[in-house]
Amino acid sequence: MRFSLPIRVYWEDTDAGGVVYHAQYVAFLERARTEWLRAQGFDQGALKETEHLIFVVHSMSLDFKAPAKLDDLLEATAKLVSCKKVSFEFEQTVERDGQTLVNARVKAAVLDSRTMKPRGMPAGIYEQLHGAMS
């Protein structure tokens, strides 16, 4: 149940150290979560429109193990490891040829898009998301 998104490293992702800029891995991880949600059938735009439901990053921890370079073909992975009505957590990696470059744990919170306050997911959405864990 681990999801993996191929990501090519372009000039825009790198910095003058010759490697991928560290904050850009955070964006790579977000792309993987977005595609994971899409693969599970969630359309974040529609959730916001029809349910006033948005998912935001609540907290994250990152370990940078090895650098990625220009032109590298990476894999950003996402695995849902916890799911409550008001928040859910992913274990994620960025890898290259099976080598882990970044380890991350990301907690997302569920907010009402009108108030930006925490709220619980409707039961149907919760069950769909919770089911994606196993």
Q: Rounded to the nearest whole angstrom, what is the least distance from the CB of residue 131 to its own copies in the complex?
A: 23
* Min CB(34)–its own copies separation in Å: 6
Told to judge if 15 belongs to the known catalytic residues of this protein, a careful annotator would answer yes
Nearer to its own copies, 34 or 128 (CB): 34
Comparison of 81 and 130: residue with beta carbon closer to its own copies? 81
Residue whose CB is less far from its own copies, 111 or 132: 111
Of 19, 95, 102, 13, whose CA–CA distance to 64 is shortest? 102
Residues of this chain that bind its own copies (CB under 8 A): 8, 10-12, 14-19, 21-24, 26-27, 30-31, 34, 43-45, 54, 56-64, 67, 69-71, 116
Joined tokens for residue 101? 């470059």
The residues annotated as belonging to the active site are: 15
